[in-house]
Amino acid sequence: MTSRIAVIAAIALATVHALTSAAAADERAPCSGRYERTSTFPPRINSIAELKSLLGRNYWGLEENVTLVSPSDAPSPLVLAVRLPAGSINPRNKSAPLGGMGFRWRPAGLSAEAACLVYHVFLPADFDFNKGGKLPGLFGGNAPAGGKDVDGVDGFSARLMWRANGRGEVYAYIPGKPDGRGQSIERGAWVFPRGKWVRIEQEIVLNAPDEANGHLFVWIDGELRLSRTDIRFRAARNLRISGVMADIFYGGKTKDWAAPKDTAILLSPFELRWR
């Protein structure tokens, strides 16, 4: 009888281990293959004026710095070329040239507990990373940025960021930082390549309210580079994922963060998947 119980226990343990391993393997796979509901932005457009009309007034820098281009090696027929003139910096620094762009894409009816963002960026081969700059990422609620305090009720944001020498991270406005600044998550988890298109996938699974069990993953060209399962994105259950915070600029706020020379970043349309 004892040996029979031992066999049953061993089988049960092996089954649990197999299921756990399968779940872990699935979690490590790029998120784009695990969500059914999908939306793309911008859809096929012919002008920046069309893009502006889709966004209403929720943008900056489109007129000054963005054009549509169609490189032969791009992942989509048309991509955005985002100009970053020398000396440009965070748009809140009014004494510097306006560089880059920003908009908030909120797909109609989106209110998700989990989402997967996919896009491609191209940094020129001679791109100067300087001290760092922002790239698009997911957000919820009021998309906090620019030193706003975060209480976990009104909103959160999780933009990607490059740092000196191309070191990548997620720069998040989430509860828990008393000085009103974003939190640098896993700085140096990857290095952004230059001179080629880079596929970025970011996945967020929200935490149970006020528990630090939210998931944050980033894949670079299909390789898992950031994996966290201890993030507190929210304190209130009604705060959910709202869309994409599409920022591209150098900064930081002070002049030592500014673009060292004229350059541009190419950006593909966004694919957003959720449940």
Strand partners, 267: 80, 121
Per-residue pLDDT tens for 73-126?
999 999 999 999 999 999 988 899 999 999 999 999 899 999 999 999 999 999
CA count, 13 A, side-chain hemisphere, 147: 5
Residue-number span of the structural domain to which 21 is assigned: 1-34
The string of DSSP codes covering 190-231 is SB--SSSEEEEEEEEEPPSTT-S-EEEEEEETTEEEEEEEEE
Which of these ranges, 5-14, 77-86, 218-227, 256-265, has the smallest mean pLDDT?
A: 5-14
pLDDT at 210: 84
pLDDT at 180: 64
Number of domains composing the chain? 2
Looking only at the bridges linking them, the beta strands covering 183-185 and 168-173 are antiparallel
Residue 230 and residue 108 in one domain? yes
Residue 58 and residue 27 in one domain? no
Per-residue pLDDT tens for 153-211?
999 999 999 999 999 999 999 998 767 679 999 999 999 999 999 999 999 999 999 89
First to last CA, the chain: 47
Measured between alpha carbons, how far is residue 188 from residues 16, 133, 212 in Å?
34, 14, 22
Residue 4 and residue 71 in one domain? no
Asked if residues 81 and 69 have their Cβ atoms less than 8 Å apart, the reply is: yes
Per-residue pLDDT tens for 209-236?
989 999 999 999 999 999 999 999 999 9
CATH number at residue 51: 2.60.120.200
Residue 90 and residue 14 in one domain? no
